[in-house]
């Protein structure tokens, strides 16, 4: 295929977004691309197969006044995000035509990757390939690092996970069970709650939308309090959790998805509990933990193959469905890790 000019469908961000994002903030356009790496570029050409929809991408849709941890998307250009693809041409010494890779790619059929820094070559191909957008990719390492490196769990501890059926949460719960913890998760539908209990082996789970009093709900599920809260949502949930933490509890802060579309984040009122219960609340980003990726893969791949760890994906078919799939994250429409299939081969 190398050298051929082909059409290239792309998902373009039309404008920076304020408030809740809409499908119409994006548009699908078609341009042309030559499947050959230019001579002056030490990169590779990628045929994108699976794209990852992740909550942090909301931040990239915003125009930031001060520099932050991610760069804003550029209006008029394709969205970028983690994805799995196959190299169709390469001038990079570490990647050759035919290689399967995952890393930061474009929301389009083909991407010219000029900076290969974020890319990993996929060595284990006897597992579901799209897993490299989830359990075997960034969200998987996020769960692993946040739980083991930040939360420092001990056997028998009580673990609470919000957004527990999501790309990260479902894995944190299973890692916590494998570590001998008592695990309760919350999610936003009956279907998700059932999944937590039946598929992922959580000790218990509840639908936060059906709880009028989150504080009372947490007191019911954790009469002796919470040792580890894996924070994915922020806002009111965090406030209720702070009331229910145990002495010397830890709160690894992974995300705050309930806040991303608000013009002004909600106020959190119960931080005084940090003192009275000597709590540690620690934010983390997966970027700081990529050195652990080989160790993580070595641990998780046998668990997947032996069926000890499950992973549920919500798969949207075709690049045209990508805008809707991405927006769906913020209404909680996805059940499990949201993936977009661009092509299967």
The 3-state secondary structure of 135-191 reads: CCCHHHHHHHHHHHHHCCCCCCCEEEECCCCCCCHHHHHHHHHHCCCEEEEEECCHH
Contact predicate 176/226, CB 8 Å: no
Using CB under 8 A as the binding rule, whether residue 223 contacts its own copies is answered as no
Q: Out of 53, 176, 238, 326, name the contact with its own copies by CB under 8 A.
A: 238
Q: Binding of its own copies at residue 277 (CB under 8 A)? A: yes
Cβ proximity to its own copies, 279 vs 300, nearer residue? 279
Give least dist CB 270 to its own copies, A.
Answer: 7
Give how many residues touch its own copies by CB under 8 A. Answer: 32
The answer to whether residues 192 and 335 touch, using CB atoms and an 8 Å cutoff, is yes
For residue 106, list its beta bridge partners.
Answer: 80
Does residue 273 interact with its own copies by CB under 8 A? yes
Within 66-95, which residues bind its own copies (CB under 8 A)?
A: 68-69
Structural contact between residues 274 and 244, judged by C-beta atoms closer than 8 angstroms: no
Instruction: Look at residue 76 and give its three-state secondary structure.
Output: coil
Token pair belonging to 74: 């550029």
Does residue 292 interact with its own copies by CB under 8 A? no
- Angle at which helices 235-244 and 214-221 cross, to 10°: 40
Q: Does 264 bind its own copies (CB under 8 A)?
A: yes
Examine residue 275 and tell whether it contacts its own copies (CB under 8 A).
yes
CA atoms lying within 13 Å on the CB side of residue 280:
11
261 sits near its own copies (criterion: CB under 8 A): no
Q: Residue 271 interacts with its own copies (CB under 8 A)?
A: yes
* Part of the chain binding its own copies (CB under 8 A), chosen from 127-135, 258-266, 296-304, 314-322: 258-266
d(C-alpha 33, C-alpha 75), whole Å: 20
Stretch that binds its own copies, among 43-51, 133-141, 180-188, 269-277 (CB under 8 A): 269-277
Cβ of 294: how many Cβ atoms within 10 Å? 11
Pick the binder of its own copies from 20, 120, 284, 330 (CB under 8 A): 284
Question: Of the candidates 5, 224, 288, 320, which one interacts with its own copies according to CB under 8 A?
Answer: 288
272 lies in the binding site for its own copies (CB under 8 A): yes
| Nearest distance, CB of residue 297 and its own copies, angstroms | 23
| Interaction between residue 283 and its own copies (CB under 8 A) | yes
- Write down the least CB distance from residue 221 to its own copies, Å: 17
Tell me if residue 239 falls in helix, strand or coil.
helix
Asked if 254 interacts with its own copies (CB under 8 A), we say yes
The answer to whether residue 161 forms part of the interface with its own copies (CB under 8 A) is no
Q: Which of 123, 118, 94 is nearest to 105 (CA)?
A: 118
CB half-sphere exposure, 221, CA atoms < 13 A? 29
Q: CB of 269 within 8 A of CB of 239?
A: yes
Q: Is 276 in the site for its own copies (CB under 8 A)?
A: yes
- 279 belongs to the binding site for its own copies (CB under 8 A): yes
CB of 60 to its own copies, least distance (A): 12
Rounded distance between C-alpha atoms, residue 94 and residue 85, angstroms: 15
Q: Does 286 bind its own copies (CB under 8 A)?
A: no
Q: Residues in the site for its own copies, rule: CB under 8 A?
A: 68-69, 234, 238, 253-256, 259, 264-285, 288
């Amino acid at each position: 295929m190398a050298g051929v000019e082909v059409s290239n469908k792309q998902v373009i961000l039309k404008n920076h977004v304020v408030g809740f994002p809409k499908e119409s903030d994006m548009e699908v356009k078609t341009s042309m691309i030559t499947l050959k790496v230019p001579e002056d570029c030490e990169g590779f050409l990628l045929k994108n197969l699976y794209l990852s929809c992740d909550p942090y991408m909301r931040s990239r849709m915003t125009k930031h006044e001060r520099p932050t941890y991610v760069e804003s998307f550029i209006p008029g250009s394709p969205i970028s995000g983690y994805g799995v693809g196959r190299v169709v041409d390469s001038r990079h010494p570490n990647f050759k035509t035919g290689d399967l890779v995952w890393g930061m790619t474009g929301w389009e059929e083909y991407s010219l990757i000029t900076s290969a820094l974020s890319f990993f070559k996929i060595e284990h191909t006897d597992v579901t390939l799209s897993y490299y957008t989830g359990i075997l990719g960034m969200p998987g390492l996020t769960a692993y690092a946040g739980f083991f490196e930040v939360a420092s769990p001990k056997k028998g501890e009580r673990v609470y996970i919000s957004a527990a059926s999501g790309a990260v949460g479902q894995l944190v719960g299973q890692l916590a069970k494998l570590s001998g913890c008592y695990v309760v998760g919350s999610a936003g539908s009956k279907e998700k709650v059932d999944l937590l209990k039946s598929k992922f082996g959580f000790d218990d789970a509840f639908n936060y939308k059906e709880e009028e009093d989150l504080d009372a709900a947490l007191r019911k599920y954790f009469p002796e309090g919470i040792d580890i809260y894996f924070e994915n949502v922020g806002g009111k949930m965090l406030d209720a959790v702070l009331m229910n933490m145990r002495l010397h509890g830890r709160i690894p802060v992974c995300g705050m998805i309930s806040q991303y579309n608000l013009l002004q984040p909600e106020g959190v009122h119960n931080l005084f509990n940090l003192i009275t219960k000597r709590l540690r609340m620690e934010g983390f980003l997966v970027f700081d933990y990529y050195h652990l990726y080989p160790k993580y893969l070595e641990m998780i791949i046998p668990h997947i193959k032996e069926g000890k760890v499950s992973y549920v994906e919500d798969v949207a078919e075709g690049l045209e469905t990508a805008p809707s799939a991405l927006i769906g994250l913020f209404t909680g429409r996805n059940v499990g890790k949201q993936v977009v299939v661009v092509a299967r081969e």
